[in-house]
Structure 1
Amino acid sequence: MVRVEELEAALAAMTQWRAPGGRGVDWGVLEADLGTALPVDFRSLAAAYPVLVIGDFLTVSLPAPGAEAAWASESRNDEILQDLHEMEDMEDYVPYPQPGGLISWGESDRGDAFYWKTSPADPDAWPVVIRTDNADWIGFPMGVVEFLTGWFGHTLDVPGLPGSFPGGSPAVRGLSDRVG
């Protein structure tokens, strides 16, 4: 499994947003409300970082301390996925909490959406799935941190997304953890 430190090496600009000593996300609350455990690599990323906006293009949604239930609720009740499912525009995918359903962990400013497919049963084996703004569905047999490390380290081709992104070294903004 790829570690957060490897992502930091591929995307050095993110390190300015690392929370010294961690962020204190209550995983018990979040995972109980969500109804599933989440992958260890994502938990490590969220323990160290707030929501990240990379290159003014990609937003990586990371739960904030004190807002775990809200993050879980948004993931469980993803209206966009529900609409796509009703329109039968999801290929063989389904929204969570259906078995093997998709849970969002990011989005682009162009309408691309980034998910996990919650199958197999082990969250650490959940693959990344992207729905591009052109309605193409693309799967990657890896976790979030490995996917981001490959993309920003230029070792992973991500078809359907702008060829100019991520570029040489995209700027990274961290969004506040303030709740309320």
Structure 2
Amino acid sequence: MTDPDEAIAELERAVPGFSALRLTVPQTFDWPALEGALGASLPADYKRLCELYPTFVLGDFLSVHYPAAGREQDWPQALQEDLEIVMEWCEDDDPVIPLTPYPAPGGLLPWGSSNQGDFFLWSTNAAGPHEWTVTVASRNGDWWHYTGGLVQFLADLISGALEPWGLPVIRPEYYRW
């Protein structure tokens, strides 16, 4: 699914009552400043989710990381701790295809985490953010990829349309973070 609003509608269907969390006035982000500081454009579905919803946790498990509106240029620096952990995991793991953290070409860029130490990342791609896929790095050592956008991943994970390999089943509930 490539349309951000369609993906968000799918997430709203997967999580009963989630649409009640939607902001009455969308948040405004300086995406060009953030993307300039990051050195990459971000996927449209992620940006739309950040604009329409406050930070939240799904199933008392998975949180999506947002930049702070008005302090977007700080977000890449805030990712550094997560990127250091990802680097350690990449070095410790022995995948068939070596993985590296962002900003390496094709590097992994964190967008979320769980309360159990799992990471949710984008596998970046030189073709642009519309081609990025979701990578899950579970604390149990399970790494897997989802070909699709972040919001569609959330909808599929919550609805049960996607096998949660190495993750617990995530209940279709939310709370504002």
Same fold judged by TM-score > 0.5? yes
Whether 1:80 and 2:85 are equivalent positions in the alignment is yes
Structure 1 residue matching 2:17: 3-state secondary structure? helix
Shift of residue 120, structure 1, vs aligned partner: 4.5
Distance 2:23 2:94 in 1: 37
Compute the RMSD of aligned alpha carbons: 1.7
Deviates more, 1:114-123 or 1:87-96: 87-96
1:90 and 1:117, CA in 2 relative to 1: closer, same or farther beyond 3 A?
A: farther
Shift of residue 62, structure 1, vs aligned partner: 1.9
Cα deviations by residue, 1:116-158 (Å, 9 ceiling, x for unpaired): 0002522011110001111111011111011111111221112
TM-score, structure 2 normalization: 0.88
Shift of residue 22, structure 1, vs aligned partner: 0.6
Cα deviations by residue, 1:45-93 (Å, 9 ceiling, x for unpaired): 11111221112111111222123122222335622123334x4436311
Number of residue pairs the alignment of both structures matches: 170
Given candidates 164, 173, 177, the residue that maps to 2:175 is: 173
Structure 2 residue matching 1:12: 3-state secondary structure? coil
CA contact (8 A) 1:112 1:131 kept: yes
Distance 1:119 1:98 in 2: 10
1:55 and 1:11, CA in 2 relative to 1: closer, same or farther beyond 3 A?
A: same
Structure 2, unpaired ranges of 5+: none
Query: Residue 53 of structure 2 corresponds to which residue in structure 1?
Result: 49
Deviates more, 1:88-97 or 1:98-107: 88-97
Distance 2:15 2:93 in 1: 33
Structure 1, unpaired ranges of 5+: 176-180
- Moved beyond 4 Å, runs of 4+: none
Given candidates 157, 161, 164, the residue that maps to 1:158 is: 164
Q: What percentage of residue pairs aligned between the two structures are identical?
A: 36
Which one-letter code corresponds to 2:99 in the other structure? Y
Whether 1:18 and 2:27 are equivalent positions in the alignment is no
1:38 and 1:19, CA in 2 relative to 1: closer, same or farther beyond 3 A?
A: same
